[in-house]
Structures are given as structure tokens and as C-alpha cells.
């Protein structure tokens, strides 16, 4: 019988953070017999929702159907939570392939998901999805969460936690996610808990990739990790539980901004009124942070498509300090397994943010940037997220230099004793039940 599994996703956890956590009170003990993969190559783009869907499906966005955090829009109604807009891929129905929770539900096993992206509307198990009421939402917070949570989770946790949350002054949903997840471990002892903890990502967006605020945040994450171990002890399941702590992407300091939509406006592809409000468009750039997905109103219009491609191809020539690469939809699909409603993808130079805004000037200084740190870059750039596992089925002392995001879901499936047939990667060699092959990328501590 497979053991229980607790997966803690510390959003924006980077490989360099591991050594700092190793010297903190809780993680120093928890990591003592851990298996660690230090640098995980992400999928493209390095955004939370596509990556978290890959984490539980084992496939790239072209297969699972989540190419971005948000649905594309040239005029998002509420951009407060991100430069990329308000209408996110919240609903679980957007995922096109089976997930790890799906496989466990088929076996009659218990699954709990707390703020795990792209789970809204899942009524099985215990589910509190990551979602928030956008400005102008007509239903109200209670109605929203009643619709998207599992019935048992809504009845147990809405009034105790979610209903008291200040949605008008949002800082970080970790204010209730951790408390709910800990209570679930103690009371319900799920076979699988998936918990997404957003605090580090938020802190890096606001204050930058490194600094005093980041150090303080890591100390909080160390406490959180210790509290989950304590909750498993309290529930009497610690000795029967495997733990995984992972990151989804790194972040890079924002150095400047470059507005592709300003170029499109000047070329007549976007028409605005005197206040800058969009009246109509033939094409627009939808920000993914350090990359952008180019949307055409009529993708089959060859005249517009050719005009847009010619403009984009000149960007690395005329603005080499801002733009690194331009890909066709077919090209990026072949290279990185990314597909969607876009026709082109633009990758900026390291540290250059590509906002969706139409600005006065194409080149925008760092001082006007809404964030200090960002992601959405190509996975060949930046510091990588780690993967850390410990528990009764984990062979401690294994230190692996590099891995792929596609390898994580089959590793989780192995620990859960289920077959994720669609997975494009393979499990990390960390199980006590599997042979460990010592090669150039694996160092087995003695």
C-alpha cells in the first residue's frame, strides 16, 4: 500500500535558497535525510499556472492546455494582481489530460488541494482552489467560493478563514492557505495533499530577488515546513508520509520595460481614443512577464500576419538591448511544447519586462516598472527551482545537480503508487524501492 504524500509548492523557491533553508531550525532537521534535485529546468513560459499543471500531469502546455496564467485580453478589467490581467485559468475543466488527483480519485483515495492552481470547480476530495473575486464581480465572495470549492471544504473553512480575508487590500493568500492545509492534515489525513504557498513569489515581485525581505520570508517558510511535519506527527501519520518541497520557477530582477503594443499602435495595428483606451485591434502583445504571446484578431488573415511578423523580426535588429528572440507558434511548439491561441512569441533580453500596456514611449525605465522581480522567461535563463523529498520511501543523501520539470509528476506518481501513463519525463532515482544509478549528475553522499 502506497504511503501518504504531502507536496508543498513554495512559489518562486530557487536553488540558492536551499542552502539558506538547510541552516534554519526546521529544515536543517527535515533535510538531513533528504534527496535533493538542485536545479529543475522549467517549462516555457516560466509562469505559475502552466508549471503547476505540468507538476500534476507530467506533460507540456500543448498537451495539458494551460499556456499562460491568464486568458488573453487586450484590455484586462482588473490588472491589480499581475501585469498580465485578471481573468486567470482558474477552472479545473481547462485541463485536457488526467491529473494525479484524478488517478487517486479513481482508486477511492483521499485528496486535498489547497490553493493549487487550476483546480476551481473540483468537487471531489477537499478542495480550496486558488481564486479571488475580480473587481466588478457581481456574485460576491461567498457565492464565488461556494461554486468553486468542494462542498465539505466550503462548509468547514469559508466562515472560519476565507470569509474574513480582506480582498480589497490583498497582500498574500498565505494568510489562510497554510492554516487550512494544516487543519486538513490533522483532521482528514489525506493520501495526497497539494498545497501552493505564494508568499515568497509575492515578496520577490515587490522587493526583488534577494535582500533582507527575502531572508525574512525564507525564515517564515522554514517555520511553515516545520509546522507541516508537526501536523503529520499530531495526526499520527508522520512515519507513513513522504514529503516533497519544491519551487515552480525562479525570478529575475527587472531592469527595464519595452512596450510591443506601443509599436503595434504606431503601426496602426491597435487603434485607441484620445485617452489611450483601445477601440479596435488587429494584433496585440499579451504579456507573460519577460516574454509575450502575440495574439491576432484574425489569425488566418495573411496580410496582417505578414505585417506583424515583419515588425517582430525587426525588433531584435532595431532594439537588440531589449529583444532577444522571436518565435512563430509552430517554432516554439516544436522547441518547448508550448501551444495556444497566439501566433508568435517574443522573448526579451534578461531583465526586460514586456508589459501589455500601451505607453508614451516604446522604451520604459525601470522606475516605472510595477514589479522589482519577475518571471515568464525562457527556461534556459535565471536561477532554477529545486526539488526536495524526504520520508520513509526516500533514499536520503542523494544530491542530483539537474532535472526537468517533466520528471516531477512521474516521481510523485511513483511515490503514490499510480501509473501516470502520459508522463513525458521519468521519475528521479530517489526511492528506496528503486536502484540508484550513480552518474555524473548524481552524487550519493556517504
Query: Between vectors from CA 10 to CA 9 and to CA 14, what angle results, nearest 5°?
Result: 120
pTM above 0.85, yes or no: yes
* Straight-line distance from the first to the last Cα atom of the chain, in angstroms, rounded to the nearest whole number: 30
Q: Is residue 377 part of a domain?
A: no
Is 267 found in the same domain as 190?
no
Q: Is residue 174 part of a domain?
A: yes
Q: Is residue 74 part of a domain?
A: no
| Region of residue 295 (left: phi > 0; alpha: psi -120 to 50; beta: else) | beta
- What's the rounded Cα separation, in Å, for the pair 82 and 376? 12
Domain of 32 in residue numbering reads as 4-59+97-252+382-444
Is 360 found in the same domain as 277?
yes
Residue 358 Cα to chain centre, angstroms: 26
Quick check: 334 and 293 in contact, CB under 8 A? no
Averages of pLDDT over each 10 residues, the chain, 446 residues: 93 97 97 97 98 98 97 71 66 98 98 98 97 75 95 97 78 81 98 96 95 97 98 98 98 96 96 90 96 97 97 97 98 98 98 92 82 96 98 96 98 97 97 57 36
Is 199 found in the same domain as 148?
yes
Q: Among 370, 402, 435, where does a domain finish?
A: 370
Is 150 found in the same domain as 40?
yes
Is 183 found in the same domain as 45?
yes
- What's the rounded Cα separation, in Å, for the pair 256 and 349? 10
Q: Is residue 376 part of a domain?
A: no
Q: Is residue 161 part of a domain?
A: yes
Is 113 found in the same domain as 20?
yes
Sign of torsion, CA 219 225 229 235? positive
Q: Among 348, 370, 392, where does a domain finish?
A: 370
Is 170 found in the same domain as 54?
yes
Q: Is residue 77 part of a domain?
A: no
3-state secondary structure of 175: helix
3-state secondary structure of 158: coil
Is 438 found in the same domain as 320?
no
Comparing CA positions, the residue from 263, 405, 261, 288 lying closest to residue 345 is 288
Q: How much is the pLDDT for 136?
A: 62
Could you tell me which residues come within 8 angstroms of residue 102 by beta carbon, excluding any fewer than 6 positions away? none
Q: Is residue 260 part of a domain?
A: yes
Q: Is residue 233 part of a domain?
A: yes
Q: Among 324, 348, 370, where does a domain finish?
A: 370
Is 346 found in the same domain as 399?
no
Is 269 found in the same domain as 205?
no
Q: Name the domain count of the chain.
A: 2
Strand partners, 291: 347
Amino acid at each position: 500500500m502506497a504511503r501518504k504524500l504531502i507536496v508543498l509548492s513554495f512559489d518562486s523557491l530557487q536553488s540558492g535558497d536551499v542552502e539558506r533553508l538547510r541552516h534554519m531550525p526546521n529544515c536543517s532537521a527535515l533535510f538531513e535525510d533528504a534527496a535533493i534535485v538542485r536545479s529543475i529546468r522549467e517549462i516555457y513560459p516560466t509562469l505559475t499556472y502552466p508549471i503547476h499543471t505540468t507538476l500534476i500531469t507530467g506533460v507540456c502546455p500543448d498537451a495539458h492546455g494551460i499556456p499562460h496564467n491568464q486568458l488573453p485580453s487586450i484590455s484586462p478589467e482588473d490588472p491589480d494582481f499581475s501585469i498580465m490581467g485578471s481573468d486567470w485559468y482558474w477552472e479545473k475543466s481547462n485541463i485536457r489530460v488526467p491529473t494525479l488527483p484524478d488517478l487517486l480519485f479513481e482508486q477511492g483515495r483521499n485528496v486535498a488541494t489547497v490553493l493549487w492552481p487550476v483546480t476551481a470547480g473540483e468537487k471531489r476530495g477537499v478542495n480550496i482552489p486558488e481564486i479571488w473575486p475580480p473587481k466588478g464581480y457581481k456574485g460576491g465572495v461567498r457565492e464565488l467560493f461556494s461554486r468553486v470549492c468542494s462542498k465539505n471544504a466550503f462548509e468547514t473553512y469559508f466562515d472560519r478563514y476565507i470569509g474574513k480575508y480582506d480582498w480589497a487590500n490583498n497582500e498574500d493568500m498565505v494568510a489562510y492557505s497554510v492554516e487550512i492545509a494544516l487543519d486538513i492534515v490533522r483532521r482528514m489525513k489525506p493520501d495526497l495533499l497539494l498545497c501552493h504557498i505564494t508568499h515568497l513569489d509575492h515578496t520577490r515581485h515587490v522587493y526583488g530577488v534577494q535582500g533582507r525581505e527575502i531572508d525574512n520570508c525564507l525564515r517564515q517558510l522554514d517555520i511553515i515546513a516545520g509546522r507541516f511535519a508537526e501536523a503529520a506527527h499530531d495526526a499520527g501519520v508522520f512515519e507513513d508520509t513522504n514529503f516533497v518541497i519544491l519551487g515552480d520557477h525562479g525570478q529575475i530582477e527587472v531592469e527595464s520595460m519595452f512596450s510591443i503594443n506601443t509599436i503595434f499602435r504606431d503601426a496602426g495595428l491597435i487603434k485607441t481614443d484620445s485617452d489611450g483606451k483601445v477601440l479596435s485591434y488587429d494584433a496585440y502583445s499579451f504579456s507573460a512577464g519577460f516574454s509575450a504571446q502575440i495574439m491576432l484578431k484574425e489569425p488566418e488573415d495573411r496580410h496582417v500576419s505578414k505585417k506583424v511578423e515583419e515588425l517582430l523580426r525587426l525588433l531584435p535588429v532595431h532594439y537588440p538591448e531589449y529583444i532577444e528572440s522571436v518565435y512563430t507558434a509552430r517554432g516554439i511548439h516544436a522547441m518547448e511544447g508550448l501551444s495556444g491561441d497566439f501566433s508568435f512569441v517574443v522573448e526579451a533580453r534578461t531583465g526586460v519586462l514586456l508589459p501589455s500596456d500601451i505607453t508614451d514611449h516604446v522604451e520604459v525605465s525601470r522606475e516605472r516598472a510595477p514589479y522589482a522581480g519577475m518571471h515568464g522567461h525562457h527556461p534556459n535563463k535565471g536561477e532554477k527551482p529545486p526539488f526536495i523529498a524526504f520520508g520513509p520511501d526516500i533514499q536520503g543523501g542523494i544530491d542530483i545537480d539537474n532535472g526537468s520539470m517533466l520528471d516531477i509528476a512521474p516521481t510523485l506518481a511513483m511515490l503514490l503508487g499510480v501509473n501516470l501513463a502520459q508522463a513525458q519525463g521519468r521519475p528521479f532515482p530517489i526511492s528506496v524501492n528503486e536502484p540508484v544509478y550513480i552518474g555524473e549528475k548524481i552524487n550519493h553522499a556517504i
